[in-house]
Amino acid sequence: MVSATRMARWGAWLAVAFIVLATLAPIGLRPTTAAPVNLERFGAYFVVGILFTIGYPDRRRWILLGLCLGAIFLEASQNLIPTRHGRVPDALVKIVGGVTGFSIATGLELALRQRRTGPKLINRS
């Protein structure tokens, strides 16, 4: 049986591959939905943030760094493609989506862990 962690890892890397293709493809080949483009951007990185956080629970700092730098790098890379343009506001929407997904997954994991083990009391003496 495949663990949730392993499935999340596969899903995360597949989502990243899709984002790279969608971000760097010529504008005519870019997949679209009926949703506003900023919701698409936010949603894609939101899902990646959740999946990487579930898939790699011991690498939280690297996940945050990767989400932020990945969004910036891909957005800047669009400037190398004649039909695309990279913009700072677009990168910020992607970063906010990734960090939101990361934060929700982290919060849920901590809540579930606390529910299983009970609250941890901090000894301040």
pLDDT-derived band at 121, boundaries 50, 70, 90: low
Average pLDDT of the segment spanning 109-114 = 86
The pLDDT assigned to 6 comes to: 95
Rg (C-alpha) for the chain, rounded Å, is 17
Average pLDDT of the segment spanning 6-24 = 96
For residue range 30-58, list pLDDT tens digits in order.
888 899 999 999 999 999 999 999 999 99
| DSSP character at residue 31 | -
Q: Is the pLDDT of residue 8 over 70?
A: yes
Whether residue 106 is contained in a domain is answered as: yes
Comparing CA positions, the residue from 89, 86, 85, 101 lying closest to residue 46 is 101
| Structure token digits, residue 72 | 């910036």
Whether residue 122 is contained in a domain is answered as: no
Whether residue 61 is contained in a domain is answered as: yes
Domain that holds residue 53: 4-115
Tally of structural domains, the chain: 1
Q: Which long-range contacts (CB under 8 A, 24 or more apart) does 115-121 make?
A: none
| Structure token digits, residue 75 | 């957005």
Whether residue 123 is contained in a domain is answered as: no
Whether residue 39 is contained in a domain is answered as: yes
